[in-house]
Amino acid sequence: MHRTGHWLGMDVHDAGRYQVQNDWRKLEPGMVFTVEPGIYIAQGAEGVSEEFFSIGIRIEDDIVVTENGCEVLTNGVPREVKDIEALMKESVIIAL
């Protein structure tokens, strides 16, 4: 099961607690987290073509809470297939 998102930290993701003394933590300026809806198709999922078994797709945005709301840090990231494919064609592959 994939959740809606998680905190982002300096060294790890998922840094910090979501609740404090059983109360949901309130968002404060400077907090950074992801919003990442996704879908994962299980092997043998009923009503799904086999070609889609065991795959997942997730879109992630990284958000910082500000004094006046929030800023989407990933706002400029390509989202359309054609734009992602063009970006991938521009990528440099380094052989190790």
Provide the pLDDT for residue 73.
Answer: 94
Res 96 pLDDT > 80: no
Residue 4's closest CA among 46, 43, 45, 60? 60
Total-model pTM: 0.70
User: How is residue 57 written in tokens?
Assistant: 């797709």
10-32 per-position pLDDT tens digit: 776 777 778 889 999 899 999 99
- Please give the Cα distance from 53 to 79 (Å, whole number): 23
73-86 per-position pLDDT tens digit: 999 988 898 998 88
Provide the pLDDT for residue 92.
Answer: 65
Q: Residue 69's pLDDT band (boundaries 50, 70, 90)? A: very high
| Domain boundaries, given as residue ranges, for the chain | 19-90
